[in-house]
Structure formats: C-alpha cells, structure tokens
Structure 1
Amino acid sequence: MPHGDITHIDIPVSNTEQAIAFYHRLFGWEIAEIPGFEGYPMWRAPNQVSGGGLAPRGEGFTQPRSYVEVDSIEETLAKVAELGGTVVMDKQPISETSWWAIFTDADGNTIGLYEGVTDAG
C-alpha cells in the first residue's frame, strides 16, 4: 500500500466471542486468530482488501482506531509534533519487518501508524 493509505482498523471489544459473531453476521467478515497473533482475532472484509482486528477494550482504547501506512514512522511522528499533534506511543515492533505507533492530532483524534510488511498468514 502507498504512503497515506488506511491499512487497518482496530475495533475495541469487551467480549471477543460475541464481537466475532456480531460482525460476521452483520457484515460477512471472516474473523480468525492467526498464529503469532493469539488473543487478537483479525477480520477481513468480503473485498479481501479491508481489514483489521478485534482488540481488547481498555483505558485509552474505547473507540475504533484507523492505521495509516507510512514510509517512515520516525519522519511522520516528527511531522506530527511540528503540526501540533502529540505522540501517544513511539514506534514499536509488530514483527521483524513491521512497526506501529500512535498519535493524536490537534483535535484529540487518535490515529495509528503502520510501517513495513506483516505476514499474517
């Protein structure tokens, strides 16, 4: 995906099994845990492009969060600060070839960043 594309959406859930059944029946999403990502079932839309995960709801994660693919998380976080946003979580590894980070914009919207390639099976 090119720099700037939305690549993933996490949905916070309190009851994973209930959420899996709900979103599968509502939208037809295929939802499954993937080896290496246990406890984090991932969904894929029927278009086979859109997708995301069902993540545990918790403090600071109560609304869906979109992730935008970027060429460089470090450069993007530097721009976030220049433009009046706030870094919530610095670059963290997902795998050996992929990373993520979180920031808020000047209006307090929380957005995730993604860099790299993740083999999710």
Structure 2
Amino acid sequence: MAHGDITHIDIPVADLAIATAFYTRLFGWQIQEVPGFEGYPMWQAPNQISGGGLAPRSEGFTQPRSYVEVDSIDATIASATDAGGAIVMAKQPIDDARWWAVISDPDGNVIGLYEQAPSA
C-alpha cells in the first residue's frame, strides 16, 4: 500500500461472537483471531484486499475507524496539528515493524494512522 491508502477499518463491538456471526453472514467476511492479537478478531473481505478488525467498544471508541497508511506517522501528526487537527492517541508500536496513532481533523473526525517499516 502507498501513503494515503486506506489500509484497515476497525469496527467497535460489544460482543465479539455476535459481531463475528453477523458480519460473516452479512458480507461473507472471513473473521479469525491472529496469533498475538487474541481478543481482536480480524476480518478480510472477499476481495482479499479490504480488511480490519472487530475491536472491543469503549468510551472513546464508539464508531468505526478507518486507518490510513502513511510514510511517517511523526511527519503526518506534525502536519495534522499544524493544519488544525489534534492527537487523539500518540504513536504506539503494533510490533517491531509497524506503528499506529490516532488523530482528529478540525471537525473532530477521528482517523487512524498506520506506518510500516519499509523492509517489512
């Protein structure tokens, strides 16, 4: 994927089993837990490109969130805050070669950021 591509969509849910059954039946998504990410089943659409996760709903996470791939989370956060956006969650590691963060735009829309090391 390239800078600016939507790479992942998280859907907040209250019950993982019910949500898994619902989205599998509705869209034919393949949903399963991935080793190392227990409690966060990931889904993949039939096109084998689109995907995301079913994440536990929380006070600050009540609506689906799209993640955009960026070349540099640090540079994107700096650009976003310069343009009137805000940091919702600072950059954090997913593993040794991937990171994520969450920002909001000037209207309060929340957008996830995803960065992958070039060699990954």
Q: Tell me the TM-score normalised to structure 1 length.
A: 0.96
* Correspondence list, 1:88-99, <5 A: 88-99=88-99
Say yes or no: does 1:35 pair with 2:35.
yes
1:116 shift after superposition: 0.4
Tell me, which stretches of 5 or more residues in structure 2 are unaligned? none
Render the CA deviation track for 1:67-109: whole Å, top value 9, x for unaligned.
0000000000000101000011111000000000000000100
SS state at 1:26 partner: helix
Amino acid at match of 1:80: A
Q: Following the alignment from structure 1 to structure 2, what is the Cα–Cα distance between the partners of residues 106 and 18?
A: 35
Structure 1 residue runs of 4 or more that deviate by more than 6 Å after TM superposition = none
Aligned length: 117
Tell me, which stretches of 5 or more residues in structure 1 are unaligned? none
- Give the aligned CA root-mean-square deviation in angstroms: 0.6
Provide the identity percentage: 69
Say yes or no: does 1:61 pair with 2:22.
no
Amino acid at match of 1:79: S
1:35 shift after superposition: 0.2
Q: Tell me the TM-score normalised to structure 2 length.
A: 0.96
Look up the match of 1:7. Answer: 7
